[in-house]
Structure 1
Amino acid sequence: MPNQELAFGDEEFIVSKTDLNGKITYGNYLFIKMSGYTELELIDQPHKILRHEDMPAIIFKLLWSRIKAGKEIFAYVKNKTKNGDYYWVFAHVTPSFNANRQICSYHSVRRKPTQKALSVITPLYATLLQREKSGGVSASEAALNQILKDKGQSYDEFILSL
């Protein structure tokens, strides 16, 4: 039955690589297994093929702005499988550079998030998604910024504290 949560081991890592446009160029065995797609179905597809509808767009806006600027980012992401199941990851996304220090691709390593982190992220993302549906991505971004301001933390400080 679709919409079941899948899990992977605490010591396992999901790895994928994309080109500059976010098209998948590599996925390790666990990435392919968790997605429910075959390797052939994934390669050259946009990474957003795994995007779950519970994910607020502001998280991806932040992610893309950060990695396009040559910086790393950590984020909690809910992915959707081919058959409609889902799984949570704690992602570390980085740009890869060529010999001329130009960004040539992106690389993501994901591990299993803690239940403590998900107990904070799940309601936060629900709030951000609600704001997004009523006022667009800018409303969701304003809500996220206000939450961070109220906590007295940057996005990175908040995410890494969970």
Structure 2
Amino acid sequence: MTPRTKKLTQAEMPDADYAFYGLVWAGTTLTERVDRALTKAHDLPVSWFEVMLWLAASPEPVPASVLGNSTMLSRSQVSRVVDALQGRGLVTRTPSPRDARSVEVSLTPEGHRLFAEADATRREVLGPVFTDLLEPQDIAALAAVWRKLKAAKGAHPAP
């Protein structure tokens, strides 16, 4: 006789544990979905898109060190991504007018065009499994939670 399998429910887990599980599940599941769609449609891995997202949100060129501090990528990963994006003609690097040791990164016109297409793909993929399921106040609440967690990041270094 085969043992009957049971799936634990949220009700059996403390809220803090389920919140953590949900964060891990959502991050993994949604990132994989977006990565597959962006790679298939635009030959653009999600890590490249993340860098482009920050660049597109900035009206000015962004110092490379700021990209390293803003993204979830390490500084060396940011450098490799910027190299790859530059190789595809999607970003430019220019010497910083404020710091001779630093470079600033910005999207090229082609980078802006591809970002707009990729962002539409991302929104299309996330709609049915994320944004369309949530009310505007849910999205605002999640954004507030992420801001709080990110703001506290430096106060509690990793063990």
| Same fold, TM-score > 0.5, yes or no | no
TM-score bucket (shorter structure): under 0.3
Task: Report the structure, 1 or 2, having the larger helix content.
Answer: 2
User: Relative contact order (C-alpha < 8 Å, sep 6+): which is higher?
Assistant: 1
Over alpha carbons, which structure has the higher Rg? 2
The TM-score, its normalising length taken from structure 1, stands at 0.24
The TM-score, its normalising length taken from structure 2, stands at 0.24
